[in-house]
Homo-oligomer: A and B are copies of this chain.
């Protein structure tokens, strides 16, 4: 009826509980002959160790918490779901599973994590959507709950994190456009203050500067909220300027899509590169900077599980991964 236990296997193989356990966890301690006998019994009964009992005994659930957040209403399908899948896949390799939970806000998230951790349901948590000054890392650190953050807060020397090199992404976009012959390259981002947005702006500015193209580009740095409408509007502003740009680097695919809409409506000539390589980018033939999300997933799990016992514990707390530019028609040289 009920799934077989070690005891059942032991009885079938004519040995004791612990010997069965040893066959699974420390085979070298068991005489090959006995081991074979136990293994056939396991096979025949289709025995699988009960994870719950293991968790209780070992005081570790091998579960990682993850807050699934509602989609941002205006976003074109964020990279959130790609990340989630990458995380699950990476967890599988490390024999960890994800436990999903919901929360109303960052405070609530910390509270829920604490509850789950206290209850033994999760060993740690992966944080997504880190903002500068995010209350979650300090909160969890104080509660001594293991976690790893996707993104940086500005004060992240104390905890494991993984991040995309956002500046390198926009810089790569600029390089690509310069190679394509563009000299006036605008930036459309969201307002200063958001760490991610600022880094993407920095990459654009630095790359322009390296090519000596920054002078007289002040009017080409526009900001607004992350929405289609804003992208559209800012594109109007750019195109209506006496010396309009010939190319735009956008901080998100959403903004890029807005720009593209205006461009296509007005039949203007304006190369566009977005950021995140959302599914929509493919649909719109929009060049975009793609985050190496699978690598991020693996790095997050590694960072969360910490140094494997035996390795040197003084490993770096953070890891920065390079994104990749996907070139499509929206930025093809004319």
Contacts and interface: CB of A to CB of B under 8 A. Distances in A.
A46 interface: yes
Contacts of A102: 85, 88-89, 92
Nearest to A58: B52
Interface stretch (A62-70, A150-158, A186-194): A62-70
Interface string A274-286: 0000111011100
Interface string A67-110: 01111001111001110110011011000011111100000000
Interface stretch (A29-37, A117-125, A215-223, A306-314): A117-125
Contacts of A26: none
Given A92-B102, A101-B97, A53 B280 contact: no
Interface string A45-62: 010111111011001010
Contacts of A248: none
A177 interface: no
A85 B70 contact: yes
B77 A279 contact: yes
A119 B76 contact: no
Given A52-B61, A68-B84, 7 more contacts: A3-B120, A51-B120, A53-B120, A76-B282, A97-B101, A264-B264, A280-B283
A264 B51 CA distance: 56
A61 B98 CA distance: 14
Contacts of A322: none
Contacts of A120: 3, 50-53
B76 A279 contact: yes
Contacts of A80: 81
A282 B119 CA distance: 41
22 contacts: A3-B118, A48-B115, A48-B119, A50-B56, A52-B120, A63-B99, A68-B84, A68-B85, A68-B88, A70-B85, A71-B81, A75-B279, A76-B283, A81-B84, A85-B102, A88-B102, A91-B100, A92-B102, A97-B100, A98-B100, A228-B283, A264-B264
A68 B297 CA distance: 14
Interface in A18-50: 46, 48-50
Contacts of A50: 56, 119-120
Contacts of A101: 88, 92, 97
Contacts of A74: 282
A257 interface: yes
Nearest to A54: B119
Contacts of A82: 71
Contacts of A228: 282-283
A264 B283 CA distance: 14
Contacts of A2: 59
Contact of A69 (B3, B85, B115, B121): B85
A50 B228 CA distance: 46
A118 B286 CA distance: 47
A196 B119 CA distance: 41
A100 B98 CA distance: 5
Nearest to A50: B120
Contacts of A81: 71, 77, 80-81, 84
